[in-house]
Amino acid sequence: MNKHTRLAFMVAPFLAIFGFIGADYYEEAQANDNKIIQLSPEGHCDIINQSCVLISGDFKVNISDNAGVTEVNSTFPLDSATLFLVDKSDQVTPYPLGMQKSPYYWRSNTELRNLISKKGDSYKLRLIAKIKGGQYISEFYTQTVK
């Protein structure tokens, strides 16, 4: 074995380790880049009867209302979440949601139950959920079935 081959065998493990560490830093930097991802309703959305799920790939967000407290539960931990109520003239009322227990559970008092409490009532909503540099957004309608 000549000296170049011997040197290559000595340097190769260090190059592999440095390459692995560099790839990890690169992936972490990519995860923090700003990106916008669309969430879509999974079937019919009825927040009053706890039947509203928004989905994008493996990420799911469940939205429900219990006695005037609107709750958002997600499959991944969120950095922040904001729910917007949009009236018929496109006037937006934002409701920043506060974290409860863990970053998977968010809630806030809203007027949503008063607006769609009767069967057949419908209302337009928007949701922005932030995870690292990504913003998951959705504009959807909720309609009370029962």
- The DSSP annotation for 86-108 comes to E-TT--EEEEEEEEESEEEEEEE
Q: Which amino acid is at 86?
A: V
pLDDT at res. 87: 86
Q: What are phi and psi of 117, to 5 degrees?
A: -75, -25
Q: Do both 1 and 64 map to the same domain?
A: no
Q: What is the DSSP letter of 46?
A: B
Q: Do both 48 and 94 map to the same domain?
A: yes
What's the total number of domains in the chain? 2
Q: Do both 139 and 95 map to the same domain?
A: yes
Q: Do both 40 and 63 map to the same domain?
A: yes
> How long is the chain?
146
Q: Do both 3 and 46 map to the same domain?
A: no
Q: Do both 55 and 25 map to the same domain?
A: no
Average pLDDT, the chain: 88
pLDDT at res. 90: 85
Residue position matching structure tokens 């019919």:
44
Q: Encode pLDDT of 74-126 as tens digits.
A: 999 999 999 999 988 889 999 999 998 899 999 999 888 888 877 888 889 99
pLDDT at res. 100: 86
CATH label of the domain that carries residue 80? 2.60.40
Q: Do both 6 and 65 map to the same domain?
A: no
Query: Are the beta carbons of 71 and 106 closer than 8 angstroms?
Result: yes
Provide the residue range defining the domain that includes 76: 35-143
- Inter-CA distances, 14 with 6, 9, 10, 17, 80, Å: 14, 10, 8, 5, 40
Q: Do both 48 and 26 map to the same domain?
A: no
Where are any strands of DSSP class E within the chain? 35-38, 40-41, 53-56, 59-66, 69-74, 80-86, 92-100, 102-109, 122-131, 134-143
